[in-house]
């Protein structure tokens, strides 16, 4: 069978973390890398050659890539708040597209993605991978068998502090600066990165919570309200960021979701999942991930009480080696596996365009709710 020729737009840290994982797929050939930052794509090509043994062609702008490269599919891993424009342009050219999280930053962008997939009939997938963690698969199987009883509540958090994030980008070279120094803001040679912009409204970054939780509860989020700790009151002095935003959501099936996100204040990590944490409450059972590195995942059963579940882990012990080797507890291989499965076998990927926008739109409206003092907002149904 002919290999799927893959191009990559944006060869930054995310691509570099999967560039020896995704191409392990036997049906993938990475033919082109493209990045606008000085030297980034050359470095990425050398990094790729060192692990995979061959060198893709390199390009320095989207326009140059489109003009010169021939490919069937593209992975887009540029700034997430600008990626939809590229995704739609590529789908309009008949190219299969995988984008990174979050899928979109505006409701209009959500509709653009949906319309592009419907119009062009190409495959689109969001590369959200936490939904493939083994314990999430186990909780999903429990929900499908009705073992939770009626699920009425789910909770998730993404609290990921780094002392120095890449808050700034050099306008000329495109190089990002990992710093805790706010003075770059006053330097005309630098601009704020998408991460800085996102950390002002951290609730935008919820795909790794909404995607796995909704895959267990079923349904889609219908209403949202949210509050935050306030811009300018952060642990990171002189940064226009908020330490936490906290959203309450309700699905069309009545499940309440409590979700929070923050990136700029120290938080304790959890066993295996690092900055992520999850809980599912049903009328019969409650499943809870470890709250720290000291405790274990736990199951509560009415009548029997709590028990520790050491068999709930991130990496599927029965998965093939190429899955187990991947980062994020083995989850990082799944998006490429399902993207190729969709393209080669004409299937709908698990994280299709509807699930993608359903993991983005509630977060977009949560940010808007917080800006409006916590008002409850209604999420459109993109499936109608
Ligand atoms: N799924 C995950 O676990 C995970 C983890 C980290 C990041 N991400 C996502 O991956 C994406 C990229 O993250 P990152 O950390 O690499 O971001 P980054 O900002 O560090 O890197 C983005 C890269 O894209 C390049 N770029 C920007 N605009 C471009 C354009 N128009 N054409 C070509 N190149 C362009 C930049 O020069 C940079 O090298 C984001 O959407 C992020 O949310 C996902």
One digit per residue, pLDDT tens: the chain, 384 residues? 689 999 999 999 999 999 999 999 999 999 999 999 999 999 999 999 999 999 999 999 999 999 999 999 999 999 999 999 999 999 999 999 999 999 999 999 999 999 999 999 999 999 999 999 999 999 999 999 999 999 999 999 999 999 999 999 999 999 999 999 999 999 999 999 999 999 999 999 999 999 999 999 999 999 999 999 999 999 999 999 999 999 999 999 999 999 999 999 999 999 999 999 999 999 999 999 999 999 999 999 999 999 999 999 999 999 998 888 889 988 999 999 999 999 999 999 999 999 999 999 999 999 999 999 999 999 999 999
Cβ of 13 closer than 6 Å to ligand 1, yes or no, is: yes
Q: What is the pLDDT of residue 380?
A: 98
Tell me if 258 sits within 8 A of 245, measured CB to CB.
Answer: no
Q: According to the CATH classification, is domain 4-129 in 3.90.1150.10?
A: no
Cβ of 10 closer than 6 Å to ligand 1, yes or no, is: yes
Q: Give the nearest ligand 1 atom to 62 CA.
A: 32
Tell me if 287 sits within 8 A of 255, measured CB to CB.
Answer: no
Q: What is the pLDDT of residue 2?
A: 86
Nearest CA to ligand 1 atom 11: 77
Cβ of 35 closer than 6 Å to ligand 1, yes or no, is: yes
**Ligand 1: distance of its center to the CA of 16 in Å?**
10
Cβ of 315 closer than 6 Å to ligand 1, yes or no, is: no
CB atoms within 10 A of CB 287: 26
Q: What is the pLDDT of residue 16?
A: 97
Q: According to the CATH classification, is domain 131-317+350-378 in 3.30.360.10?
A: yes
What is the β-pairing status of strands 221-228 and 377-378?
A: antiparallel
Nearest CA to ligand 1 atom 39: 12
Q: Where are the domains of the chain?
A: 4-129, 131-317+350-378
**Ligand 1: distance of its center to the CA of 76 in Å?**
8
Nearest CA to ligand 1 atom 43: 101
Q: What is the pLDDT of residue 1?
A: 62
Please state whether the predicted TM-score (pTM) of the whole model is above 0.85: yes
Q: What is the pLDDT of residue 309?
A: 98
What phi and psi, each to the nearest 5 degrees, are found at residue 46? -65, -40
Buried b (16+ CB within 10 A) or exposed e, 184-213: beeeeebebbbbbbbbbbbbbbbbbbbbbb
Cβ of 39 closer than 6 Å to ligand 1, yes or no, is: no
């Amino acid at each position: 069978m002919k290999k799927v020729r893959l191009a990559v737009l944006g060869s930054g840290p995310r691509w570099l973390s999967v560039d020896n994982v995704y191409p392990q797929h036997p049906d993938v050939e990475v033919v082109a890398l493209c990045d606008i930052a000085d030297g980034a794509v050359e470095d990425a090509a050398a990094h790729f050659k060192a692990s995979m043994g061959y060198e893709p062609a390199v390009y320095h702008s989207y326009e140059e890539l489109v003009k010169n490269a021939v490919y069937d599919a593209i992975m887009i891993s540029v700034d997430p708040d600008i990626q939809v424009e590229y995704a739609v342009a590529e789908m309009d050219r008949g190219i299969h597209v995988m984008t990174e999280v979050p899928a979109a930053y505006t409701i209009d962008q959500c509709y653009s993605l949906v319309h592009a997939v419907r119009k062009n009939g190409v495959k689109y997938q969001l590369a959200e991978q936490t939904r493939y963690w083994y314990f999430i698969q186990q909780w999903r199987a429990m929900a499908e068998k009705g073992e939770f009883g009626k699920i009425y509540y789910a909770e998730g958090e993404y609290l990921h502090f780094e002392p120095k994030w890449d808050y700034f980008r050099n306008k000329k070279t495109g190089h990002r600066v990992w710093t805790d120094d706010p003075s770059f803001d006053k330097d005309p040679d630098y601009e704020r990165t998408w991460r800085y912009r996102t950390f002002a409204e951290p609730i935008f970054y919820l795909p790794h919570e909404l995607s796995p939780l909704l895959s267990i509860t079923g349904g889609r989020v219908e209403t949202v309200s949210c509050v935050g700790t306030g811009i300018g009151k952060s642990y990171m002095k002189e940064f226009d960021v908020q330490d936490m935003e906290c959203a309450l959501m309700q699905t069309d099936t009545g499940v309440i979701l409590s979700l929070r996100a923050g990136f700029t204040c120290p938080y304790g990590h959890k066993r295996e999942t690092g900055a992520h944490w999850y809980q599912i409450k049903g009328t019969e059972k409650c499943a809870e991930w470890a709250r720290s590195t000291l405790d274990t995942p736990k199951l509560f059963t009415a009548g029997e009480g709590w028990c520790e579940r050491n068999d709930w882990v991130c990496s599927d012990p029965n998965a093939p080696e190429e899955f187990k080797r991947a980062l994020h507890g083995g989850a990082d291989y799944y998006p490429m596996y399902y993207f190729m499965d969709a393209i080669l076998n004409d299937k709908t990927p698990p994280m299709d365009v509807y699930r993608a926008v359903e993991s983005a739109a509630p977060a977009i409206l949560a940010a808007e709710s917080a800006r409006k003092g916590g008002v409850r907002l209604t999420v459109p149904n993109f499936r109608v």
